Structure 1
Amino acid sequence: MKHRIEHLDAMRGIAALLVVVQHGLERTTQYFDAPWIVLDAVNLGRFGVVLFFLISGFVIPFSFRGDQPIRNFAISRTFRLLPALWLSVALLLLVKGPAPLDVVIANMAMIARPLGLPELSGVYWTLSYELGFYIVCALVFWKGSIFDHRLQTGAITLLLACCFLWGIYSWIYFCYMFLGMLMRLAFLEGNEGAKRLWKTYALLLAGSAILLTMQSPGSMFLKPVATTVAMVLPIAIFTAAIAWKPDVPGWLVWLGKISYSVYLLQSIALHACKPLAAVSIPLYLSASIAMVIAMAALSYQLVEEPLNRFGKRLTRKPQPLAA
């Protein structure tokens, strides 16, 4: 299991850096006139986010453990996600200045987008999708069906229907998490139904993503072709990784461990290093990546890891006192 987790950690690290590079490139468009081939060919940020969602769906059942799995799941997710988020919110407020209290609280609770409130960082939009997925997972685990492949196939079918019939295009992101869970059942749990159907649903999701993105008007950084590649290619790469289970270097595993803080703190590093963009775009990107990795390493060591360990202690069954 450790070997499998390590290559998933490595993919997390790669995904986080892709998001940083995308957002860095978006901040440099004023310094060149010709279209940047990277921005036209693939949206690296969306690519990284989709990869994150696939991984999240694949690993989330690991969090249901112990005699009180739903309670333990809630505790582990709380101490895994909120401390680093709160740190990033505090740092953003220091950099950008104060914000209304309701906006701050909503961002700290990962629900700014559902409430229609501004997000303090452009990367926070994914957090509400993660939170919604966790709530669904807890509910279906309570009903005893989280390891039933019909949950994943039914959820993907229903969500895609909502995308096409009612125009709720953003719900396609939930499909990636359910596909990740379906592929876990096929590759790790040996579920016969999942092994039979995961390819069909992977192709269904890829085809749906193509149709939805190609008919979208897009924007400067979300052009139809770039977005389509970003929504489809991660499925192939994720499939290859979990089927192949490649050996990965230790530094990439470590980068995966700090990837959540890299994701959350990137806007601060990109803002701080912005003057370098006028000198050299590669210099700006390199400095931003170096800075955010340093910040994330400190965040992981001082905030994430200690509080994650504390959360795990809370989920352990108390040992009886010796007579």
Structure 2
Amino acid sequence: MTRSRLAWLDALRGFAAAVVALFHLSPTLIGSERHLAIYRHFDLGRYGVLLFFLVSGYVIPMSLERHGSLRRFWVGRIFRIYPAYLLATAAGLLLVATGWQRWENGDPVAVVLGHVTMLQDLLGLSGVVRPFWTLTYEMTFYLIVAGLFVWRRHHDSAWWAGGLALVALVGGRHLPDALLGGSRLLAVGLAVLVGGGFMAYVIGRRILIFGCGLAGIGTVLLPMLNGQAGRYAMPGSSSCAVLLLAAMFAGTVVFRVQHHQIRPGVAVPVLLLVLTATGVNQWLLDGTRLLRDVSVAVAVAGTFAVAFLMRRRAVPGLMTRLGEISFSVYLLHIPVLMVTARLLRGHPAAIGVSFVAGTLAVAWMSFHLVERPGQRLGARVLARLDARFGPDTPVIIPTTEGGTPRTGSFGSVVRASRLDA
């Protein structure tokens, strides 16, 4: 058993990754007809993804605000995510090259830039590995949250969660699904935005940071106007894409309530609004999936609520270890499934056992041989950047308002004691 302030989040991540992996295994293990019969009543894949997004929404603001450093945040994110992402990309391309996996796509420049920025889904492109589409919304969330931090609006989480839910509910079918399309020009523009923003946050020049922060906030328009840019995009509509961001901001609202930055009287209606919108959105669009989507939304909220209420209890070590390797499980389980299904065709039980064992083994190796070294490299890069450009942590200016610190530059500082509460 593990007792740690964040062990419950590791357990949730591990559980969500396992659910998504087993969802993708299901057609092979029990047959397509039985899989579809379950899917018509409860979408386990959507359940796992939304649970992941709630956890991200809770964790990412904490990661950013703990140190008040945009440079540390972005260097940490890049070296936390991209090593395993590049490994999964290489595995996917190898499967395509051998003919073991089909991969249809559009303009090659847009495909490359979409994968480099992780924004391929908002370009209407298919990821070389199927789960990559969710990283598009993670990256969009990072850009928005960093922009809000720059402009000192990062505590407005309730407005963002509730506002995005209302956009989906009220806008619904009136939101354009592919206003911007998936052109090469848009792909280049997004690459400039992500790359330029990263460089601005690393260098630390204030005027560049404010400009990139504003551009980052503006990326919220992408899911509103281009949420289903092509047939390969996964959400199904712009309103569904908007609700994915709303789910992440809902996780942030929980974080803010826990640390007394939002009143429960404000948070509860907002969370109920996001829950309702997530459940009824597709039904409002085309009259379908009401019971399935409501049941998924309630299950996600219930799972997160139970884990949150039990956060001070010891967590089984197996769950925390699964949480540690959850990102690699999530990225690499599809290549493992492709290989095992190809080699053991016609033997579903053997495929199931080999898939579980193979995914855990590959994810463990990826975590220890790729993710961990990547994070250590990121720490060294950050130290060199701090030495080259100077630290970018905001200056804390004491105040007499209950001893609460405020900042002398962009951003704010969250006390360690409040994070530990």
Relative to the length of structure 1, the TM-score reads: 0.86
Residue 133 of structure 2 corresponds to: 125
- Which residue among 245, 251, 272 is the counterpart of 1:203? 272
Counterpart AA for 2:25: G
Counterpart AA for 1:190: H
Pairing of 1:1-323 with structure 2 (within 5 A): 3-27=4-28, 31=31, 33-34=33-34, 38-64=38-64, 69-97=69-97, 100=108, 102-146=110-154, 148=155, 151-167=156-172, 168-169=238-239, 170-187=241-258, 189-191=259-261, 193-215=262-284, 224-245=290-311, 246-275=313-342, 276=344, 278-280=346-348, 282-316=349-383
Distance 2:33 2:143 in 1: 45
Distance 1:157 1:61 in 2: 17
Counterpart AA for 1:205: V
Distance 1:35 1:242 in 2: 31
Shift in alpha-carbon separation, 1:41–1:277, aligned structure 2, 3 A? farther
Distance 2:16 2:379 in 1: 26
Report the CA distance between 1:51 and its aligned residue. 0.6
What per-residue deviation string (whole Å, max 9, x for no partner) do you get for residues 124-183 of structure 1? 11111000100111111112232x2xx112112221232123333221011111111110
Distance 2:23 2:59 in 1: 25
Counterpart AA for 1:25: S
Report the CA distance between 1:309 and its aligned residue. 2.0
Matched residue of 1:166: which SS? helix
Shift in alpha-carbon separation, 1:212–1:81, aligned structure 2, 3 A? same
Report the CA distance between 1:225 and its aligned residue. 3.5
Distance 1:152 1:36 in 2: 37
What per-residue deviation string (whole Å, max 9, x for no partner) do you get for residues 265-297 of structure 1? 1111111121546323x5433321211111111
Distance 1:37 1:153 in 2: 37
Distance 1:306 1:218 in 2: 49
Matched residue of 1:18: which SS? helix
Distance 1:66 1:20 in 2: 32
Report the CA distance between 1:68 and its aligned residue. 6.2
Distance 2:283 2:29 in 1: 26
Counterpart AA for 2:145: C
Residue 191 of structure 2 corresponds to: none
Structure label with greater radius of gyration: 2
Distance 2:73 2:35 in 1: 46
Give the paired residue count.
Answer: 309
Shift in alpha-carbon separation, 1:11–1:311, aligned structure 2, 3 A? same
Shift in alpha-carbon separation, 1:145–1:228, aligned structure 2, 3 A? same
Shift in alpha-carbon separation, 1:306–1:198, aligned structure 2, 3 A? same
What per-residue deviation string (whole Å, max 9, x for no partner) do you get for residues 191-212 of structure 1? 3x33322222221111112211
Shift in alpha-carbon separation, 1:89–1:101, aligned structure 2, 3 A? farther
> RMSD over aligned Cα, in angstroms?
2.6
Identity among equivalent pairs (%): 29
Counterpart AA for 2:74: A
Q: Which runs of 5+ in 2 are unaligned?
A: 98-102, 173-237, 391-421
Contact 2:56 2:251 in 1 (8 A): yes
Contact 1:214 1:225 in 2 (8 A): no
Matched residue of 2:167: which SS? helix
Distance 2:371 2:249 in 1: 26
Report the CA distance between 1:33 and its aligned residue. 4.5
